[in-house]
């Protein structure tokens, strides 16, 4: 009887382990490991539209796991390069998840860095929940959570937004530092040369500080040739005007003004206040401001 119990226990243990062993063998059989992996996509006229490569890859049923990832998207006026330490390519959805030291660079001069990123090849959209840094020459933009076009022409930053720029003063011809912060979201359209800040917006310049609920910042465009040799309107760091809306407060020296809307012109350095404007003057100076209804 004792021997029979021992035999039954051994049979039970073997039966319990066999499915696990079989599943492990099945996973090994369905996984292929290769040293170099590359994949390309082509457009209507047979022109390459994107490619993806990895130094090594584990090819599974639905996902290709890559190391040292390099991807490219070939647009009409701009080429985009994406790199990361590792990534997953979903063969069914076409989405590439990039992880660790993710960098996007464009031939138009933009560079985005983050810890992780999803690249939707079909929709040509990139998104992340992590902190991002977007650099364009004299403009540096940071925030947490982002979504936009792969070419980075249109980007939305979700929260904790900060923009640092160093435009050239049109009167003195010298660079001045400007910092704009908000709780978010921030919607930037580089093709239309506008950035829309939302919730607790603050602008800091050497000569004034502006607070508001919402703010539209209009930049002066500059012409630049894309990779195809065509003229593309690329946003510059030079501010054309600032439109602040909702609970506007402007501090200029010891003077404070209040209104529901304020328009600041970078060319004339003139501020126009509308919507129950009020001003508190602590000393005599030329404010160069006008008031509306």
Class of domain 29-125: mainly beta
Specify the pTM.
0.76
Residue 103 corresponds to which tokens in the numbers above?
Answer: 């960098």
Lowest pLDDT segment from 176-190, 204-218, 278-292: 278-292
Candidates 82, 138, 86, 122; CA nearest to 106 is 82
185 upstream amide cis, omega within 30 of 0? yes
User: Any idea which residue has 């607070």 for tokens?
Assistant: 211
Q: Which residue has the higher pLDDT, 114 or 23?
A: 114
* The pLDDT value given to residue 149: 87
Segment 72-100, tens digit of pLDDT: 888 777 789 999 999 988 888 889 999 99
Segment 32-78, tens digit of pLDDT: 676 777 888 787 777 888 888 888 777 777 888 889 999 888 877 77
User: Any idea which residue has 């792969």 for tokens?
Assistant: 150
Give the whole-angstrom CA distance, residue 154 versus residue 8: 67
Q: Which residue has the higher pLDDT, 176 or 260?
A: 260
Give the whole-angstrom CA distance, residue 56 versus residue 53: 9
How distant, in Å, are the alpha carbons of 156, 175, 193, 290 from that of 270? Answer: 30, 19, 21, 8
């Amino acid at each position: 009887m004792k021997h029979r119990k021992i035999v039954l226990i051994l049979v039970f243990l073997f039966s319990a382990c066999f499915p696990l062993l079989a599943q492990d063998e099945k996973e090994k059989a369905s996984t292929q490991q290769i040293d170099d992996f590359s994949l390309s996509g082509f457009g209507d006229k047979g022109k390459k539209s994107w490619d993806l490569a990895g130094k090594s890859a584990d090819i599974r049923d639905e996902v290709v796991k890559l190391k040292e990832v390099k991807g490219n998207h070939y647009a009409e006026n701009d080429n985009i390069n994406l790199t990361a330490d590792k990534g997953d390519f979903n063969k069914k959805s076409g989405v590439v998840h990039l992880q660790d030291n993710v960098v996007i660079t464009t031939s138009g001069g933009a560079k985005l860095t983050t810890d992780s990123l999803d690249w939707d090849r079909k929709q040509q959209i990139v998104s992340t929940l992590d902190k991002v840094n977007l650099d364009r020459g004299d403009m540096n933009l940071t925030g947490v959570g982002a979504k936009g076009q792969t070419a980075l022409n249109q980007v939305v930053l979700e929260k904790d937004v900060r923009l640092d720029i160093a435009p050239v003063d049109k009167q003195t011809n010298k660079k001045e530092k400007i910092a704009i912060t908000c709780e978010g979201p921030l919607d930037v359209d580089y093709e239309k040369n506008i950035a829309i800040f939302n919730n607790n917006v603050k602008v800091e310049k050497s000569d004034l500080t502006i607070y508001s609920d919402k703010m539209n910042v209009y930049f002066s465009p500059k012409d630049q040739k894309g990779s195809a040799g065509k003229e593309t309107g690329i946003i510059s760091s030079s501010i054309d005007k600032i439109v602040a809306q909702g609970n506007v407060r402007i501090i200029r020296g010891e003077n404070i003004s209040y209104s529901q809307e304020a328009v600041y012109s970078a060319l004339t350095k003139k501020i126009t206040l509308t919507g129950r404007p009020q001003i508190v003057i602590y000393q005599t100076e030329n404010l160069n401001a006008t008031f509306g209804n």
